[in-house]
Amino acid sequence: MACLKNKNCIVIQRVYLFDPFELQKGWAIPTSFQQMECTFLDHLSTRIMGFYSFFLWLLLLFSVISSNVFTVYAFKGTYGVNYGRIADNLPSPSSVVTLLKAAKIKNTRIYDADHEVLKAFKGSGIGIIVGLGNQYLKEIAVGEDRAMNWIKENVQPFLPGTNIAGIAVGNEILGGDDHELWEVLLPAVKNVYDALRRLGLTKVVEVSSPHSEAVFTNSFPPSACVFREDVSIYMKPLLQFFSQTGSPFYINAYPFLAYKSDPEHIDINYALFKSNKGILDAKTNLHYDNMFEAQVDAAYAALEKAGFPKMEVIVSETGWASRGDDNEAGASLENARTYNRNLRKRLAKKKGTPYRPKFVAKAYIFALFNENLKPGPTSERNFGLFKPDGSISYDIGFTGLKESSGVSSFIHFKVIGAYGWLGSSCALLLTTCITLVLLISAS
């Protein structure tokens, strides 16, 4: 930078930050400042160069982030929602995206790979785990080419626009009634992973397989939990593979189902995160004041005994029914509101569990909507946080699809959805650039 004097002003010559935002050559200082020494300008030059160095660092950081735009983790933050669609009265997938953005929900799971849903989520930035249904496992287990065909049809065409962060291979296979599926689960998982590897997508799309509590012999107290002997034969090789690929252990944990099965011996307050005396695990001397954490730690105990103490547990399903049959204890609107409200508060703390304090608790809530076509007892059709018309089922802090939500909010969500994460990042970078230039000018 040169310090020049002329008849009318002092000029700083050729000051550039970088091409798109270069300062004009004639950045003039008024004549009234002509008497100021060049030492002042040298000081100013030092300040500018300091900001310039910081700016280069900022650009480098942005470059690193941009280079990893498509390298995502399957779970962002601590809260997600299962988007079940066994119903004939649900809002459109595009409305669901608006709803999730309004609720600031960044993670969702679907139980298939519906193309209309995947198209609607394009540019939303919301991480979505797709499901490879149980009915496909036997075919996928036959060979990698079958898995490759499925991925090329249902996953690859939607990347990177749609943030497909994971593939759940099957759902609640081990511990279920179909023992033939037990045998094909691991081969199917391996074939899906190998197909992703050949396509260069293993750092983008996680492979997992959610389990039910049926894989455990017992889960009380948490430290006593172990995998069933008949399940363990299939579970350990599966866990070994997931350990090598860095996938977590997904478990569907429902305090509601536990309470419904034994309301005489389980304190409803313990199941709902309400004030209660809790339980003490005598072996670990750990105290639990809610069943959710006890169920998560039971899974950690089982993993440790199986030889996988460092594997993370993520709850792939949990929730509470707002309605039920006469024999479904605890199924009520008030209990559903209490459980989901308190669970949301618990997850927002971003803390671990008593047995694994360094593993932040994460969970997908079941479910986004009530699903009127689901078979089974009444409770199965009444787990939704929202009603089919998009309004809230009960208030836990979310806003439904209503005009009262504010037109400006909907415009905001549509703009973010149109440009996605990268657009937001560019906007943030531009704002930072302007701020830095203003700071330099103010100096």
Pick the catalytic residue from 293, 312, 317, 371. 317
Which tokens go with 424? 């937001």
Q: Respond yes or no: is residue 172 known to be catalytic.
A: yes
Closest CA to 259 of 312, 329, 321, 163: 329
Contact status, residue 209 vs residue 189, Cβ threshold 8 Å: yes
Pick the catalytic residue from 172, 206, 213, 328. 172
Measure the CA dihedral 192/196/201/206, to 10°: 10
Residue 428: strand, helix, or coil: helix
Q: Respond yes or no: is residue 116 known to be catalytic.
A: no
Q: Is the peptide bond before 160 cis (omega within 30 degrees of 0)?
A: yes
Q: Which residues contact 376 (CB under 8 A, 6 or more apart)?
A: none
Q: Which residues contact 323 (CB under 8 A, 6 or more apart)?
A: 331, 332, 333, 378, 379, 381, 382
Count of Cβ atoms closer than 10 Å to residue 91 Cβ: 18
Count of Cβ atoms closer than 10 Å to residue 250 Cβ: 25
Contact status, residue 302 vs residue 348, Cβ threshold 8 Å: no
What is the amino acid identity at position 46? T
Rounded to 5 degrees, φ, ψ at 384 are: -70, 140
Q: Which residues are catalytic?
A: 172, 317
